[in-house]
Chain A
C-alpha cells in the first residue's frame, strides 16, 4: 500500500495546506510519495524532499504545467496512479477541482473532505455543513481522498531527505486555456492558517466600516474573515468568506463581529478553539457557539476593544 499525494504549490513554494495533507496521508500509510507537477519548480521539489514524512518525490516539470489546469494535472496523475493504493490531496479549491476527475477515470467513488483517518479504508467526514459526522468505509480497491487541512497538523518541514525522481510530462488538453488570476495579496496571515481571525458580518453596514475590523486585525496580527452576507453586500471580497461554501477555519481565536451566526457560517468556524461573539442582538444564534459573548453595539465595542488591547501592549505574532 502506498499513498500518492498531489502537491499544491505556485512553482516557487509549497502551499501550506499541502503540509497538513501530508500529515493526513501518512496516517493512511507511511509509504508516502508526493507528485509535484509544475514548471521550473526545483525549489518546491527540494522543500518537499526535506519533509521527513515524505518518502519520495516524483517531479514532473514542463511548461504545460506553468498554471494549474485540472485536465492537464489529471492526465499527469493517471500516468502514475496504478502504482498506488491511495491518491490524496488537500480539499481546498485546488483539490476539489481536481480529485473527482481522477476518481471518475479510475472508476473510484471518492471520499471528500475527511477530518480523521480511522483506518486506511475508513474515514470520518462532515456532512450537512458539519451538522452531522459520517464514518465511512470505502470498498474500492483504490481510494481517492481529499483532506480537510484544518483538521490535521502541518507536517515538520526539516530533517527529511527523500529521493527526487524526475518523470516525463503527460498529454495536455487543447480545450482549456488559463486566462488570468486575480490574487488578493496581503501582509496579513492567510485566513486558512491564521492563529487569530476576526470576521465581520452584515452588522458592519458598509465596506468603509470594515476598517474597524482591520484595525483590530492589525493589532492582533489576525486574518480577516467575513460572513456570506457581508461579501454579498459588497463590503469585502469573496476570498474572505468563512462558511459552508467558503473557507473552513480553525484558529485559536475567532472573533465574530456583527455576524448573526447562520448555520452556513457556523459550518466554517465552529471548530475554532475559542469563539468570541460581539452582537447587539442578545438572541442571535452566534451566541450559542460563543465561549465569550458580548451583547453590545459593535460601533462602540470595537474601538473599546482596540483601546483595551493597546493597554495590554501585547502584539501577537
Chain B
C-alpha cells in the first residue's frame, strides 16, 4: 500500500497570535512555525502502518511557499520515504489545495491519503473532505483509531455524541484527530539523514489547477477584550458574588 500524507506549515501552537495593525492579517514575520499538530498524527499513523508491514511507501506532500519544505523534511525525518513540495506564492483556500492534491493523487496513485483534520491557523476543516469529493473516494474524518483490513479500513471517529465506527473501502481519505496516536520524535541522525531524501518540487501553476481565491478577507481584527476580572478571597465570597452580582446561580 502507498500512503500519501499531506502536511501544512502553520504558526507554532505555542505562539501568541498578534493581529497586524492595518487589519490585513496576522503577524507572521519572524514568528516560530511548525507542522500543524494533527498532521504529525497523520504522519505517525502512516509510519506505524508501514512498520506493521502493511504499507510500502509513504510520501509526504505540502502545498506552500518556499519554507514549507521544512514540514516535509520533518516528515522524512520521522519515516516518510520521499517528499513533494508544491510551490505556491500566496496562501491558498482549501478548495484550491484539494484540487492540487487531486493532481498529486492522480500522479502518485496512493491507496490512502492521510492529513490532520483541521489546520490550526484557518480552522477550516475542509481539505480532506473536499479531496475525497473530487476523487469520489470515501472519507473517514476525525479518526481516533484506524484498523487496516484487506481492502478497507475500520475507522473510529470522534463525534459530538461520542465515538462512531465506520468501514471505508480503499482507496480512502482519512483526516486525523490529535488522539489518534502519540507522534514520535525524530532522532538527530534521522533528521540529518532526511536531508538526503528527495523532495520533488512542483510549481502549482504547472498543474493546470485554478487556484484563484473566491473569498476576500475584508479585515482581520482582535476579538473583543473581556473586562478584567477580580480575585476573590474565599469560596464564600465567590458564591455570594455569583448569586448577587453576576446573578448566574
Which residues of A approach B to under 8 Å, CB–CB?
69-71, 74, 92-94, 96-105, 107-113, 122, 126-140, 173-184, 192, 196, 220, 228, 231-232, 237-239, 244-245, 247, 252-253, 263-264, 270, 273-276, 282, 287, 289-296, 301, 304-305, 307-309, 312, 314, 316
Contact = CB atoms under 8 A, between A and B. Distances in A.
A276 B219 CA distance: 32
- Chain A facing B: main interface SS: mixed
B163 interface: yes
Contact of B123 (A112, A275, A276, A296): A112
Given A253-B249, A263-B13, A69 B215 contact: no
A270 B166 CA distance: 34
14 contacts: A69-B166, A93-B158, A97-B142, A100-B127, A113-B123, A138-B215, A175-B169, A179-B165, A181-B161, A252-B248, A276-B238, A292-B229, A292-B230, A292-B241
B213 A109 contact: yes
B219 A135 contact: yes
Nearest to A96: B125
A238 B144 contact: yes
B11 interface: yes
Nearest to A220: B249
Interface of B: 11, 13-14, 16-17, 19, 26, 38, 93-96, 98, 117-118, 120-134, 137-142, 144, 154, 157-169, 172, 177-179, 213-223, 226-227, 229-232, 234-236, 238-239, 241-243, 246, 248-249
A99 B226 CA distance: 32
Contacts of A253: 242, 246, 248-249
Given A175-B138, A308-B239, A181 B249 contact: no
Given A109-B95, A179-B166, A239-B160, A103 B216 contact: no
B34 to A, nearest CB: 14
Given A136-B218, A137-B215, A308-B236, A112 B126 contact: yes
A135 B160 CA distance: 27
Given A181-B161, A294-B234, 8 more contacts: A74-B133, A100-B127, A109-B96, A132-B220, A133-B221, A178-B166, A244-B120, A292-B229
A274 B141 contact: no
Contacts of B95: 103-104, 107-110
Given A69-B166, A239-B160, A239-B161, A131 B214 contact: no
B94 A110 contact: yes
Nearest to B177: A245
A184 B235 contact: no
A174 to B, nearest CB: 8
Contact of B138 (A71, A128, A231): A71
A105 to B, nearest CB: 5
Contacts of A291: 226-227, 229-230, 246
Q: Which of A99, A101, A113, A263 has the most CB of B within 10 A?
A: A101
Contact of B230 (A92, A228, A293): A293
Contacts of A237: 162
A289 B224 CA distance: 12
